[in-house]
Structure formats: C-alpha cells, structure tokens
Structure 1
Amino acid sequence: MAKGETWLAVDREGRVGRFRPGLEGTVPRRALAPARRERLAEAIDLACVVRLLREPAREPLRPDVLSSDRLLVVLRDDAREPSPAGYRDRAVGTDPIEQQLARFSPRVLREEAPRILVTRDEVDVPALIALLREERVLHALAMRDVRAIAASLGASHPCFTYAHLDERHERASTYARVMSGAGTALHESEIPEPERTALCALRVPVSFNDAREIEVEGLVADELPKDLLEAPSADAEPGPAPVAGRPVWAAWIGMVLVMAVVRALLRALFDF
C-alpha cells in the first residue's frame, strides 16, 4: 500500500465510493497512477451531468465563452435511424448533427433519449456556432464548465465518502464514512467505458450502505492489471501484439553469463 491523494472504488453492489487518505491513510499503489485519477475524475463528472441533463425540462445550457474545447452535447429525440450494432463507441450514423461532430471523434454516453455525446477532440469556434444554431441541440457544454455546472445543479460527486482521520485512527488502513450516498450514489453502470473497467478493478467487498468503517488493508488488491488502470483512450491506435516475456530470473542469469564472457575476454587480451 502507498499514501497519496483521494482515490475511488466500488462496493460489492457497484456503488461508487470516494476515499480521502488525509496525511497518513494508505492507498492502493495503482490508484495513484495519474492517468487513472484524471480519467476517472472526468468520468465521474460526466456521469453526474448526464444524470441531470437526461431530464428534458431543464433550460438549455450553453458555453459561457465561445472558444475551442471538447464538447458535451445533448440531443432532442427524433426519428433518427438506429446506429449500427456495437457498444458506445459505435460509428456515427445518418444523424446530421452527429455527422457534423464526426471529425471531433464523438463517443456516446447515453444511447436512449435524450441522446448524449461527448467529443474526444476540441470543437473549433465555427463548428460550435453552427451546432448552437441547431434546434435539436438541447444542451451544449464546454468540458471546462462541466464540474462547475454539476456543482451548481446540486450533483457534485454523489458518492459515499470515506476518510482516514489521522487524529482518530491508529491504523493507517482504517477509513470512516463521513458522507452517505444512500439513494443518490452513482453506480458503476453509469460510468462509461473504458473508465468503468478501471474503476471496477478496485472493488471493496463490503456494502457502503452498511459499512461505517472499512479496513482497506487486505480488501483492495495492490497488484492490479496496469492496462485496466491506465487504459488508453478508445480512439488510440492499437499497439503491437503482446509478446510473451521471460521470467525475471532468466534475465538475471543471462546478464551474469554476459558479464562472465566479457571478463574472460578482458583477461585473455589484457591480462585483466
């Protein structure tokens, strides 16, 4: 275990929990990976906003400033032709607005009406202005505004929250519940892929509803698959196929043999 910043995990029912280690609390080492923290923080922000914006009665939301940024777009329902089979990163279909967004690499966060997309790339100002003129665009949010909007609408990280209380807990692995998310906590099913897989890799086998204190030592695995916790973006180019590696001991033996050969050559040539 290690020490560091706030980390996220899910319980056995899939509810999302936030763990604040303070100065002394232990943290799974893999939870400290910067890529994991950043990607999961954004995924939680998006899940909060999606939960709010799926209600059609809200007033339209627009960017405060017209400047290039990644964009969260909520579309009115229509008789759109269904998308091809596949999961959320499916190909853009015949919808004209999705065709406008195609060059900015959109991903689908919500398939049901109202349909919600977020772009992986920044949308330039001319494209943003054209998009805001479309009647079917219910909401268009710049990603820089998402966290502030979630907080202003009362959905800032609805999670169970646990904290290690340095002055109270003798064991660094003890966390106490400081905020209940009963009835409002995000569920793993609300988190988009591939962030959902990374989040669920840290699963605490208790129920956050019942657990007032949690001992994370031995409950949360340290050695988790790195490719799950630092998953590349869905649009990244696939890397080379994995090649089976030799055990560490084999590498050490090889190094010792090479050093022995080099030493023998030096002795033969220079009486080393």
Structure 2
Amino acid sequence: MPVKRYAGDRFVGPTGDPTGFPLDVADGAVLYTSGDLATDQASYIKVTGAWQQVVQTGVVLQTMTGDFLDKYSNQDVYGIKTFHNDVFIRDLTVTGTQTALNTVDSTIKDNIIIINSGESGVGITFGSGGFVIDRGSEEDAFFLFDETLSGDLEYTGGFNFNFIPHVTGDRLVKASETGVFQTQINVVHETGFTATTGVSALEMTGVSSIYDIDGVNSGEADILHKQQIQCYIGGVLQAPYQYSLSNTLGGTGTPTITFAENLFSGVRTNFVYSSTDRVL
C-alpha cells in the first residue's frame, strides 16, 4: 500500500537523476540523496511538482510563497515587489519606457545629469528634451531644448520656456521687447531734440504700433535755433524766467545782453545759458 507524503517530510531518497525521485509528495518536501560519490550526496526541495537541488550558494524558490532571494548568485526576480524599509543599492540600472519616483524631495549628488543619453541621431530624435513641471489644474511649466527653434541669427535649436524666466530676480526680456520686430518702416518723417541738456529724443508721428528701425538717414532740413539765458540771484530764478538772444551784429561778433535785475554785492549770481535746435 503506497504511503502519502506531505510538505515538510524528510526522507533519504535514491541517488542519480532527479527524474527518478518520488512524485507522491507535496511541495516543500525535503529529500536527501546518498551514495559513494560526493556528487551523490545532496539535498533537494519539491517546488511546484519538481525537485530543486539546494546548492552551497543557496536556492531560489521563486514560485513559492515568500520568494526567497539568493544572497550570492545572480538571479531574476519576477512579479511586483514592495519594500517597506530602506533599500540601499550600489549601482542601479533601470531599463524600460517609464520610471516613476513618488517622493516629496529627491536628492541627487551627481555633478552631471545626462538626459537623452545614448542619442545616436543628429540632434534629439524626438525633437526636444528637458524638464516638465506638473502644475495641477494650471498650465504645466517646461524647460526644454527644442531642435526646431530658429532665429534671425541663423541658429537652429534653442531652449524653450513657456513662462518668463528670471535671473537673480530680474526678468529676462523677450525678443519682442528688445526692438527686433517683423514689421519694417523705411522713412522716419520727423525728428527732434529735447531742450534738456544731454538728452535727445526721436519723435515718430502717425505711428500706432512698434516698428523695427534699420537705420537713420540724415538729410537737409530747416532747423529752428533757439537760445535763452536764465538768471539766478541767491539761488532764486529771476523774472522774466528767460531772455531770448538776438545777434544784432548780423551773425558776427558777440551779442550783448542787458539785465534789469539789481545785482547786490556779496550775493551769488548765476547765469544759465541753453540752446536748442529743432528740425522742422
């Protein structure tokens, strides 16, 4: 009458090929072989209907509850594994199409992080690479190098921002804010200079937008020339506030100016002369 064996049974089995071992045992049974040769003396465990030898470096029972990990040998581990405590790994290689990190803060001590490593094409095969920040219900922010960007300086490829970047608190201006525009105007029909010393202004009339200025052409024009003198006595501007000058010598010599103010001895008196020219 055959004897039914159960998991955990221990018995001395035959020597030789494991295919000749008894099959009427449950998974988890242990079998010790004996024989004259050292190779005949071994231990086996029944795993999912087959006998697996226990070698010196350990045994992997991947299909049994617990999924034992071999401490010494290379092995493949299948299925989803969850580690509830800290895991320390020396060198880590991750392959696949997507890697997810679900952490509040990630600290990376590498000096250089290479994105799109191993690219073999001319430029980025997928057209762009960089960082995208998920902003929830708001528009995502991205910092990408885009191979398709180009500009007037005959460059191809550049960094693309969908928000205005800042450097040490100062906002970087856009190309549209630097005077480089697509629409062109060929003629500036009015120019002028302010009366303020050291300040000049270019006035454009009849213009409702911003235009690109390629250059300034000068030509003949009627110029209105004005001169004035202001008198300050003791730091107080005297009336009249300005005096128009006229050269009574017909364009030659030095004009003579007469003031009606009484100049007191010991009081500081200043005369301020200014001249303006306006192109008509």
| TM-score > 0.5 by shorter chain | no
**Structure with more of its chain in helix, by fraction:** 1
Name the TM tier (shorter chain): under 0.3
| Structure of greater Rg | 2
| Higher share in strand | 2
**Larger RCO: Structure 1 or Structure 2 (Cα < 8 Å, ≥ 6 residues apart)?**
1
